[in-house]
Chain A
Amino acid sequence: MAKRSGERARCVTGIEGFDTVLYGGIPRSNTVLLTGSCGTGKTSLALEFLIHGATKGENSLFVSVTENSDKMLANIIPYNFFTDDLVESGKLVFVDLPVMYERLGMTKAELSMEEIDLLVTAIASLARELGTKRLVIDSITSVCYKLKTSEKIRDFVLKLSKALTDIDCTSILVSEVAAQSDSYSMFGVEEAISDGIVLMANMERRGDLLRTLQVIKMRGTMHSRAKYVLDLTPEGVLLVPLLKGGSTRA
């Protein structure tokens, strides 16, 4: 039996408040599902995770599925701590998954089991080539639309997280859910097989629409399960505890 090594090494996200919630950061090589409806700040949080990583010298890879990465790049400039140098030096790499689909000839609406293996291998080998330590896929839900069945989604997420764990890469899979959904993922499968779930949501409070963040599950660490209010600022994401008083039912 493997000896318990005690505390797992951490991937310090660098996001104000988030590391505190996680008692020091995401356990290294975990695959975390970052889930929420649109406009809750998923992409911003995921990007910040990568930028902090790249700044600290950890190679970071953003795999964009829905949005063109050039457009994405144009949208992150407001962060004070982001410099073009990170991209130019190759510390922070943006890749469009549709280009990989094309390269691999995956033009059909649904991928076969064999193609899922090929895709996982291709992403993992790219991460290996780049020495990636932090990876974001935005969004895994868009990939799932190409997988269709829950068996295939399960297969894909399991294999991908295995492959990324093998190269000691900490990953965030962005997942989209409908605003009123009570599930953590669109297909219900992704959530069951990831190492962690971070839920982001919108909450109306006294006429304001607040963004909230809550860590539902995180393997390998203790964590707060409280709901936090999230503020997107040019300094990055700020997390503050949600004040329980007042007229909200939350």
Chain B
Amino acid sequence: MKFTSIGIKALDEHLGGGVSKGSTVLVMGTPGSGTEFFAKQFASAGDEAVTYFTSTERDEDILGVMREYGWKTDLSIVNIGTKYYENVLAKKLEISRFRQEGITLSDIRRFEEKDMHREENFLTFLSYEISKLEPPFRVVINSLDFFLENYDSAEVLMAMRTIKAHTQHSESVTLMTMLKGVHDSRIQSSIEDLSDVILELDREKVGHEYKKYMIVQKVRNRPVMVGIVPCSFDETGIRPS
């Protein structure tokens, strides 16, 4: 079995050497549980070329966090959030202005063919960008929630299956993050089903503090590895305690 690192040494050991090449990893958690943080630690590991797709963060924020923890920042960031802003949200803002204030002749004259509203399909964009990557690659999709909010769930599932198959055949590794308990349970189950490894970040209030856990929910064909790993966050990142 050929393994690649998940970014946390002790977790790699727990998993018997890391995740097997070709795996699709799902990291779930409630807001604030550290899934985004985990994604960055994952992005700094391994020897594959890293591509980080983000729908919520600015490039400098991603790099800033990674530098702060002294992680390798040798990665290319594809900022879907920025594209979404430019393509959709900025246009929505403009539309609300026109709706509120009316349109003047100069607004009409300023209109050019390029302003034609052709909403880009970011799901297609994601699949396409991943299909172009030179294997072996290490992909982070932060987060699936963006796609599930904006597109039909059947479409998202189809795209994720494609990405998973591509990851598998090219012996690469893909990690995606998803909020827990936000989406319809059928969708969540389907996403869980296609994932090879599922990690859940959880916490429990004990006295005046949180006890944090990484729950290994699923390792395909390795049910023995399923379990709970207590962990803590320190200056090096997430570490099992």
Contact = CB atoms under 8 A, between A and B. Distances in A.
B111 A99 contact: yes
A107 B117 contact: yes
A118 B99 CA distance: 6
A105 B111 contact: no
Contact of B105 (A95, A104, A105, A118): A95
Contact of B103 (A93, A103, A107): A103
B98 to A, nearest CB: 5
A93 B105 contact: yes
B103 A126 contact: yes
A130 B99 CA distance: 19
B235 interface: no
Contacts of B99: 104-105, 118
A150 interface: no
Contacts of B104: 126, 129
Nearest to A61: B105
A93 B108 CA distance: 11
Interface in B77-104: 91-92, 94-95, 98-99, 102-104
A20 interface: no
B93 to A, nearest CB: 10
Majority secondary structure, A binding face: helix
A130 B108 CA distance: 13
B98 A104 contact: yes
A102 B115 contact: yes
Interface residues of A, number: 17
B105 A130 contact: yes
B95 A103 contact: yes
A125 interface: yes
B182 interface: no
A113 interface: no
Contacts of B103: 100, 103-104, 122, 125-126
Interface string A85-122: 00000000101100110111101000000000010011
B116 interface: yes
A114 to B, nearest CB: 9
Interface string B105-120: 1011001000111000
Contacts of A130: 105
A107 B95 CA distance: 11
A102 B111 contact: yes
Nearest to B95: A105
B102 A125 contact: yes
A29 B66 CA distance: 68
Nearest to A125: B102
Interface in B14-35: none
Nearest to B96: A105
A104 B100 CA distance: 9
A107 B108 CA distance: 16
A103 B105 contact: no
A99 B108 CA distance: 7
Contacts of B105: 93, 95, 126, 129-130
The 9 A-B residue pairs with the shortest CB-CB distance, nearest first, are A105-B95, A125-B102, A99-B111, A103-B98, A103-B103, A122-B103, A107-B117, A99-B108, A122-B102
Given A105-B95, A129-B105, 6 more contacts: A99-B108, A103-B94, A103-B107, A103-B108, A107-B117, A126-B102
Interface of A: 93, 95-96, 99-100, 102-105, 107, 118, 121-122, 125-126, 129-130
21 contacts: A93-B105, A95-B105, A96-B108, A100-B103, A102-B111, A102-B115, A102-B116, A103-B94, A104-B103, A105-B91, A105-B92, A105-B99, A107-B117, A118-B99, A122-B103, A126-B102, A126-B103, A126-B104, A126-B105, A129-B104, A130-B105
